[in-house]
Amino acid sequence: MKVTYLTSILGIAVGSLLLAGCDTLSPKDKTASSRWDHPDIIDAANCHFTETLGTSYAGGLTRLTQPPFDKDFLLADINFNQKRWFTNFSGDISGRFTEVASEVSLWDQPWPEVLPSLLTEIPQYQKEDGHFGVPIDWSKPIDFDPTTDQTVMMPTLWGNGRLFLGLTAAARKFDDPGMLEAAKKLGDFYVNTVYPRFCDPNKMAEYKTEGQYASAYVTCVFEGMEGLLNLYYLTKDKRYLETACKMADFHEPFDTLPVGHSHGSLSQTSMLVRLYDATGKTEYLDRAVKRWDAAVSGGYVNPAGSVLEKFYVTGFNRDEGCSEGDWLRLNLLLWADTGETKYLDMAERLLWNGMLANQWNTGGFGHRFMGVDERGAYAYLKPSQESLWCCSFHVPWAEYKMLSYLAPASQKGIWYNFPLGFETITIYNSTIWKITSSTAPSVSNGRHYITATVNLSTETPGKKIPPLNVRMPEWADSLTVTAVSAEDPVEVTEKDCKDTGRSYRTFRVKGVSGTKGITYTLKFGASIYLEDRRFHALDLNQLQNAGVQKIEGAVIRQGPFVYMNRDSGDIQDIALEEIPRQMKAAPYYKLSNPYEPHAFVFNVLMSR
């Protein structure tokens, strides 16, 4: 899909874009703004990755234009025109496709070709009560069955939750009255039926009945919350926001770790952050922060930055692209509301080492078998299956969401968050700025660097170059910056970012016009270092002084990369002096056969 830049985005030339279908952020008078200088996230349809991630992203979108993704396949979950997987997850495929396709489309250029006819036909299959799928008597007991996902009630709610997001995304992007009307009918179904029937404090025993993990109560009922929030933004009808909040409150006692379905759990945690943005109620953000802390410290997140399909530490041996997409998005949302760069560090780790490892050679995404021990996952094994019903939609959708966070703007300037290849736009002081970034590794005097070349420009005359706030990644031990312009010699001033300390460095130039543009060269020091399996950097001098001969379970880092074993999926020994020569390890994207097993945990033999 070719994406072009617009000189005017949907007619918006001033201010921030607070649009319902995006991961929109709180208004200026919200509590979040007082916590740090809150960025404004724009619609990312005019933005794209380049370099390695650009190839991955383009491959994921291209996959959605190939078989089996024709109209009959995409509608089969709501019109039952063919036998398919997961029969009663009605809306899971049609909703996911509608959401990602609408999001990546320009407002006047629906993509791909099948999308307009899909949007026209979807409302025809909506039931009188507002839901999609087979007719259901919702007053009957829930048909839980822990041995199968071929039940009806919970799968239908899961699918309707996904379709709700597709309807609201299409209604927002294309100003489509048919999509909006279908979304309102589905929203009324949640207000009038789902909330009173499935959030009744007198029926807690029923809700706690065991079901198959993908068809469980906590997995399926609460997926509708985010569609309600999106619909509130579109209609300003407070019933939808109030119902989303009441469902989120009822969700709290079920919101625990471990849980059987990480995709559902993480998507619901992201919804809590968005509810905080909508309401200013800190309890929602606090719940999300606590969940992140528990997942990271408890071993639910592996050293490659990814999670298992079941939100377990051990006892399950497969990942899921959908969960990785949700984990990426959650980290981005938490950064936007807290300013804490540990969330961007995790997003970056996941992007390079977890999500790339999940992509199939078709461009699609799915499941991969994992090597797992009592401490958690330690290796990627053989691919399991390409997931044409969820992951192949959800990972490109999450990557699309990330485009908005590459270089957002706020009153304090532009926030350069990730040293990687991209082209994006942002709005600073009512002016649209184009930002391009390219990267290259280098070695100088035996030291490793990642150099990013970043250009800022605008077509609006007379605009001064905005301050550039550059994130200091966890893996960087130095940063040097130079700048050049077509106009005059450039003097760069540098200081710690006032709001977030040394996690960002702020760079300013004087007397340079944005129409001429300015190009920064950002040189990040990227030494090799070791971590344990819980993300703590290891002090080698301290360990050597203590007489440690072998570090059991070490992770090798350089730049954003977690090094993978070239030879097998077993935890193998590697001598400390071999690591700089990369004799037995490499970043995932440099592996000669990345679909073979490879471990990301080693036993490091210390030098004598």
CA angle at 488 for the pair 484 and 492, rounded to the nearest 5°: 50
Q: Is the pLDDT of residue 147 over 50?
A: yes
Q: What is the mean pLDDT of residues 375-384?
A: 96
Query: What is the model's pTM?
Result: 0.93
Per cent of the chain over pLDDT 70 is 90
Q: What is the mean pLDDT of residues 413-417?
A: 95
Q: What is the mean pLDDT of residues 474-503?
A: 76
Among 80-94, 113-127, 302-316, 500-514, the range scoring the smallest mean pLDDT is 500-514
> Which one, of 171, 137, 138, 166, lies nearest residue 78 by Cα?
166
Does 460 or 498 have the greater pLDDT score? 460
pLDDT at 250: 98
pLDDT, one tens digit per residue, over 238-274 is: 999 999 999 999 999 999 999 999 999 999 999 999 9
pLDDT at 2: 27
The pLDDT confidence band at residue 499, using thresholds 50, 70 and 90, is low
CA angle at 91 for the pair 74 and 150, rounded to the nearest 5°: 105
pLDDT, one tens digit per residue, over 535-557 is: 999 999 999 889 899 999 999 99
Q: Is the pLDDT of residue 37 over 80?
A: no
**Cβ atoms of 212 and 149 closer than 8 Å:** yes
25-32: long-range contacts, CB 8 A cutoff, minimum separation 24: 25/277, 25/336, 25/337, 26/276, 26/277, 26/278, 26/280, 26/337, 30/277, 30/280, 31/280, 31/282, 32/276, 32/277, 32/280, 32/285, 32/337
Among 16-20, 386-390, 404-408, 529-533, the range scoring the smallest mean pLDDT is 16-20
pLDDT at 445: 80
The position carrying tokens 């097998």 is 568
Q: Mean pLDDT in the chain?
A: 90
Please report the beta strands in 276-386, taking only residues with DSSP state E, as ranges in sequence order: 366-373, 376-386
Among 79-93, 440-454, 571-585, the range scoring the smallest mean pLDDT is 571-585
pLDDT at 443: 85
The pLDDT confidence band at residue 516, using thresholds 50, 70 and 90, is confident
Q: Is the pLDDT of residue 512 over 90?
A: no
Cα separation, 565 vs 435, whole angstroms? 36
Q: What is the mean pLDDT of residues 559-571?
A: 93
Cα separation, 351 vs 329, whole angstroms? 11
The pLDDT confidence band at residue 38, using thresholds 50, 70 and 90, is low
Among 19-28, 202-211, 533-542, the range scoring the smallest mean pLDDT is 19-28
> Which one, of 513, 500, 348, lies nearest residue 418 by Cα?
348
- For the chain, domains (ranges, CATH) are 46-252 (no CATH), 255-405 (1.50.10.20), 413-525 (2.60.40), 529-605 (no CATH)
pLDDT at 75: 97
Under 8 Å CB-to-CB from 108, ≥6 apart: which residues?
none
Q: Is the pLDDT of residue 513 over 70?
A: yes
pLDDT, one tens digit per residue, over 101-125 is: 999 999 899 999 999 999 999 999 9
Q: Is the pLDDT of residue 4 over 50?
A: no
pLDDT at 497: 63
> Which one, of 21, 205, 223, 16, lies nearest residue 104 by Cα?
21
